[in-house]
Each structure stands twice: as structure tokens, then as C-alpha cells.
A and B are shown apart, each in its own frame.
Chain A
Amino acid sequence: MFTPVFSCYRTVQFSYEGESIVGIAEFFQHLMNGLTLGGIYALIALGYTMVYGILKFINFAHGDVLMVGAYVGLFLFDLLRGSSPLGLWTITSFFLAMIISMAFSALLGMFIERVAYKPLRKATRLAPLLSAIGVSFILSNSAAWMFGTHSRKFNYPFDNTPLHLGEVVITPHQVLILVVSLAMMIILKLFIDRTRMGKAMRATSLDQGTAMLMGINVNRIISLTFAIGSALAAVGGILIALDFKVYATMGTMTGLKAFVAAVVGGIGNISGAMFGGILLGLLETFGVAIFGIPTGLKDTIAFGVLIIILLVKPEGLFGKVEKEKV
């Protein structure tokens, strides 16, 4: 069995005089942590990658739609659940809340597209990007204004007592995250590859002009893309909220990192997004745990990876090189 043995560099000013060898149990624990973190990134990256695939545009506001989805989900869940103890009703109300939140977020996504991005389709590259940054600001600050800046607890609808697998401890929720991301990815892939709508989406992403000529309602396809992406974001937001609470700025950093994941995997590529997400989660966890990167610099790992990928293989690990035609 492969036991990684690394010496940890001094990570803090007051160096600790303890063990500096990572044991098997700890390694697997880090692995679990990294995988679940990656699962979250993957889920959100799917939304980014879809929109980019069709519109060649990064929706900066995607992370904030995630936040809205979480808030909506929270209010609905608390409302529906009432004071019931953990059980069938809590699980049912949780899924109800999630579905309604998905619908709401889908509508929100479509609305944003219509108001802030559609008018800029013919404008310079810069314009929709700036507009997206603006939307992101509006969303996160409006939420802070309306709901306050403190975190709110999103209670688990089920008993989240950790399970012990030997010395590795995971929670049912972590498993849920992985299962949901995988499921979403598969469903999405099937949708894109096997259905007519999916085909239309692929056509639009290849060449909008020709797709229009072929009778595809491009506007509707774009709206649909945003709707699906936003709904996925809502799911991601709710799952994240269970572990990390709901607050107005929850979407920003996670959104950025999910974007990095999408790029690493190959933007526009669904399986790439999944892969990129998991990879990033693992890199962040292991980077700190094993390679001795100071925990204070955890965030830099994501950006560092981004820069490296953009330099070495800008189309991403699974992407195709796109020749820029004159």
C-alpha cells in the first residue's frame, strides 16, 4: 500500500514540534475532504461551462445566483418543515424546497440574461463581462441589505451523524454531495447528447448563425441554457449551505473557484467540468495537507492552477483547441 511520506514545511511562524509524517488514515481523510470539496466545485462548474459553451461568455454572476438559490431554499425549507423532527417529512420538505428554489433560480437566471446580457450580444467582448460583474455586485449587496450580513443555519433534513470507516470519518452529507454532482453530470450529458433540445444546444454552441438558419430558436436555447445553469447553481448553493451556512457573500469566492475548475477541465465540456472540479478540490486539500503550502495561501492554489493551465494548455484538459479564424 502506498504510504505517502512527506515532510511538512514550516507552515506557521511558531513551528510545531509534532509529527511531520502523514499517515494512511490522515491521507484518506484528506482524500475524502478533497473529493467532497471537489464535488461542490464540479456542480457549480457545470453551470459555468454550459453558459460558456453556448455564449462564449463567463457569467460572473453565476456564483451569486447560487447564493439566491440558497436563501430561497432556506426560507422555504424552514417554512415547510415547521418544527417537525428529522424524518420523512423533513426530507420531503427539503426536496420540495430545493425544487422550488431551482425553479426560482432558473427564472432569475433567465431574467438576468434578458435584461443584462441580451442587449449586449452584439457589443464588444468587454461589455457583457462588465455587465456581469455589475449584476454580481447588485445581487450580493441586495441580499446583504435585505437579509443582513450574519450567517444563517440551514439545518440538515436528515441525521448527519458521521460514519466511521476505520479511522476515516465522513458524513452522509458529504456522500450526498458526491452523488448529486455525479448524477447531475450524467443527466446533463444525457440531455445534451440524446435529446433534441440538447442537439439544438450543441448546434448553437458551434455556430449561432447557422443554427438560426437551421430553424433553431437561438434566443430560446440561450434562455434555456441560463435556466438550467441557474437551477444547477441553486442545487449547489443549497448543498453548500448545509455545511457552510447561508450568507450574502457565499457565492463569490466559490463561484470564482468553480470557474477555475471549469477552465481546468476544459470550458464548454461537461465531463471536463466535473473532472476539473474534483481535481481542484483535491489540489487545494492536498496542497495544504501534504505539500506544505501555508493554509493562509489556500486560495492562491486555485488561482495558481488557473494561471498554469492557461499558460500550458489553455483549452483545458479535455477541451479542444479552437483556432481563432480571421
Chain B
Amino acid sequence: MKKSLFVLLAILAVLSFPAFAQGGGEAASPKIGFMGPMSGDYANYGVLSNNSAMLAVEQFNAKGGFGGKLPVVLVTEDSEGRVEKGLSSIEKLSSSDKIVGLIGPVLTGTSFAVGERVQNEGIVMISPSATHADITNIGDYVFRTVVSDGLQGEVAGHYFFDKLGYRTIGVLYAKNDYSQGLYEGMSTAFKAAGGQVTIAEAFNVGDKDFKTQLTRIRSANPQAIYIPNYTAEMAQILEQASQLGMKIPFLSCDGFSNPDIYKLAGEFTDGVIYVGPAKVKESPAFNTFVSQYTAKYGVGPDSFATNAYDGTNILLAAMDKVYKASGKFDRKAVRDAVAATKDYPGVSGTINFAENGDLVAYQGLYKVNKTTPEYLGTFTVVDGKLVQID
């Protein structure tokens, strides 16, 4: 028995040799990392955003790379949507791959944990989708190209009150950081404007049956129902609401921008008004991006993937600037360059970072007309008041 044990350990040791052998061979080509859930419940989001990162890197290298001759390498790690894996991923990316910057993580929970780590190590991080208000407070190495929950919730709350004229709203949200964050943000703003959240029902991640909650909301009869959730759940909610004979209009969040919703919920999406990414009027860059993306991957990007594309390009631009100035890729210098990004022409609009790494941006409002989203306008909130930009 001792023998087989030794054999087993020996095999394991041999198998991990390639790992040790990896050393620092390719010190020349700089690496950046992407982290997101590539498997598990949220795999769709990770995959879509990773596609963007890959596309951006490909295009960059096709143009010659840094200084016209040095390509960048993208290393993708699967966080599985779990904090543990997120931490081991950043461990690998940071110490083995020695990445210069990170795109991701996708999910808020992982972003908190990984954010602490990158702040500690001094690696710049740009998340395309972690929306919780507190994330950029972790430190000056944490940025995001997605609008914080804080703003989205505020715009939502004020828009529903001012523009749609609702005075009572019901909410059906999931007990996860994304959904609950949006609910709390919207609620605060809506109440501040003078409205009432007359009923708020929650469900657990993984639940698929919302009839009980919807029945209660139906009885409370609010003027509209806010559902700040991920795509699959929202599809279920819309369908089940119709099965309960409910006619109350629905309001939603940027999760609704995922084109999958129309596949899953079909005609039930008609009439839904949601807050999404602000659209730059007549943006050819955006349309080009979408067609390139779709041609390459067979599916369209969601708003997070769009943010990931911009985030990657910003990082690459920053790295390029640093390389041109110093011939090296110092992590701190790269971070500073990212922070100094001014009026970057991204496909999701002009990008500027606020002092704390948040995106200075606006939100777009959309209304679904028979499975096609129509753009209603660009908004933001200044000093507690809704302001229409476009």
C-alpha cells in the first residue's frame, strides 16, 4: 500500500512539472487578464464579456501591438462565479502570469474579494459589470466601465416618478448583490421623489416559480412592477405574470439588455421599459462593433460585453502610452494612465473616469416594442434631479 501511495504522489508531482517549468519565459510579451464566470449559473455573462476582450486584443495585435511590434497576450480565467475560484484565479494571474491589468471580474461578489487583492498588489482592474456602489471605494486601482448601481437606481427611481408618472411601485427582486443593490437604489430615489414602494417581494437565486410572489403583488396592485434581475429569471417572471392574468406594466434594469430575453420570453417583453446603457446617437462605432462581434461569435453582445470591449481597449491604450514613454509596462504607471483617460471614444459612448474609478456616464432608457427595444432618451441625475441629456 505504501508503494501505491508513492506512485500516486509521484504521478501528481510529475503532472505538475509543466506548471513549475513555466517560469518567466515570455517576459517580452505583456499579459493582461480576463476573469469571469465561464461555467456555472452565470456562465453566459462571463463568456459574452470574454468574447469582447478577445476581440479587442485581436484587433489590437492585428494593428501591430505595442510600438507596432509587440503583441499583447490575454489570459482568461474562470471564476465559476465563486469567490474562492476568483481568488485563486487572481493568484495565478498575478504571480504566474504577471498580468499588467485585469478586465473583470464580472460578478459583484467576486469583484469585492478580487478588488481587495488587486488593490493590495497594485494591479489595475476594470470591471465591465460589477455595479455595486461600494466597489470602486475599495481603492484607486479599481475602475469600472459600467455605471454604478447608485446611478442606475437613481435614474430609475426618478424616471419612473417624473417621466412615467408612477406613484406606487411594486418590486420583485432576487437575493443577490446585483438585484438587491438596484432595488435599494431605485427605492431610495423613488421615495425621495415622493413615490411609494407599496410591495417588495424577494426570491432566492435558483428559484423559478414566482407565482406566489406575483399573486401577492397582483393583490397589492401597484401601478408598475420593477424587476431588476438577470435575464432567465425575468423571462420567467414575465411569462408567469401573464399566466396569472396580470396586466401591470413592468420596469427593468440593464440585465434586460441581454438579447437572450427575447428568445426566452418572446412577446411577453412587449411594453417593458428598462434602464440600460446610454446610446450615443448615430454611433457607427457601436454598430461596427456589434456586427464584428456577431460575425465572430454568432451571438450579439449584451451591455456588459460592450463595456468589456471598451474596458479592454482603454487598458490597452493606457499600456501603449506607458510603453511609448518608458519601454516597459510598470503596473503603477499603467494604472495612472488608465485613471488619466479623458474623453475616450468608446463604443458605448465617451468615457471618463471619476475620481474614485466610477464611470462618469449617463443611462439610457428603452421601451420594448414587440421584441425590439426602442431608445427613449439619455438621462442622468444631478443633485437629486433627473436631467435629460438627449
Interface of A with B (CB < 8 Å)? 11-12, 14, 16-19, 22-23, 25-26, 29-30, 33, 37, 144, 148-151, 153, 160, 162, 164, 169, 171, 243-245, 247, 249, 253, 284-285, 288-289, 294-296, 298-299
Q: Is B43 an interface residue (CB 8 A)?
A: yes
Q: Choose among A29, A169, A245, A295 the residue with the greatest number of B CB atoms under 10 Å from its CB.
A: A295
Q: Is the CB of A149 within 8 A of B43?
A: yes
Taking a contact as CB atoms closer than 8 A, the residue among B197, B212, B219, B220 that contacts A14 in the complex is B197
**A19 touches which one: B211, B220, B235, B242 (CB < 8 A)?**
B220
| Contact size range, B | 35 or more
Contact A151 B245 (CB under 8 A): no
Q: Which residue of A lies closest to B38 (CB)?
A: A149
B199 in contact with A296 (CB, 8 Å): no
In angstroms, how far is the closest chain A Cβ from the Cβ of B336?
38
B40 is an interface residue with CB less than 8 A from chain A: yes
Return the chain B residue nearest A141 by Cβ. B39
Q: Which of A37, A149, A171, A289 is the one whose CB lies under 8 Å from B215?
A: A289
B window 225-248: CB within 8 A of A:
232, 235-236, 240, 242-245
15 CB contacts below 8 A, A to B, read: A12-B201, A14-B187, A18-B198, A25-B219, A37-B211, A150-B260, A162-B245, A169-B245, A243-B240, A244-B236, A245-B236, A249-B41, A289-B215, A296-B203, A299-B204
Taking a contact as CB atoms under 8 Å apart, the answer to whether A12 and B243 are in contact is no
Contact pick for B200, options A12, A149, A171, CB 8 Å: A12
Asked if B196 lies at the interface with its beta carbon under 8 angstroms from chain A, I say yes
Task: Find out whether the CB atom of A149 lies under 8 angstroms from the CB atom of B220.
Answer: no
Task: Kindly list 4 other residue pairs between chains A and B, CB separation below 8 angstroms, not including A160-B243, A245-B236.
Answer: A17-B196, A148-B43, A149-B39, A295-B204
Cβ of A241 to closest chain B Cβ, rounded Å: 10
Known contacts A11-B201, A296-B203: does B39 contact A144 (CB below 8 Å)? Answer: yes
Residue numbers in B under 8 Å from A284 (CB-CB): 212
Supposing A244-B208, A244-B236, A245-B264 touch, asked if A289 and B41 sit within 8 A by C-beta, the answer is no
**Known: A26-B216, A30-B212, A289-B215. Contact between A18 and B199, CB under 8 A?**
yes
Q: Is the CB of B212 within 8 A of A16?
A: no
| Chain B residues engaging chain A, CB cutoff 8 angstroms | 39-41, 43-44, 175, 184, 187, 196-204, 206-209, 211-213, 215-216, 218-220, 232, 235-236, 240, 242-245, 260, 263-264
Whether B244 lies near A29 (C-beta < 8 A) is yes
Nearest residue, chain B, Cβ from A160: B243
Expressed in whole angstroms, the minimum distance between the Cβ of A248 and any Cβ of chain B is 10
Q: Give the chain B neighbours of A148 by CB distance below 8 A.
A: 43
Give bound CA distance, A249 to B206, whole Å.
9
Chain A residues lying within 8 Å of B235, measured Cβ to Cβ, are 151, 245
CA distance A20 to B203 in the complex (A): 19
Task: Give A29 to B213 CA distance when docked, in angstroms.
Answer: 11
Contacts of B243 on A, CB cut-off 8 Å?
160, 162, 169, 171
B215 touches A26 (CB 8 A): yes
Contact B212 A289 (CB under 8 A): yes
Interface centre among B40, B175, B244 (most CB of A within 10 A): B244
Please measure, in the bound complex, the distance between the C-alpha atom of A298 and the C-alpha atom of B202, giving whole angstroms. 10
A163 to B, closest residue via Cβ: B245
B232 touches A245 (CB 8 A): yes
Tell whether, in the assembled complex, residue A295 and residue B202 are in contact, meaning their CB atoms are under 8 Å apart: yes
Q: A165 to nearest B CB, angstroms? A: 10
Min distance, Cβ A40 to any Cβ of chain B, angstroms? 9
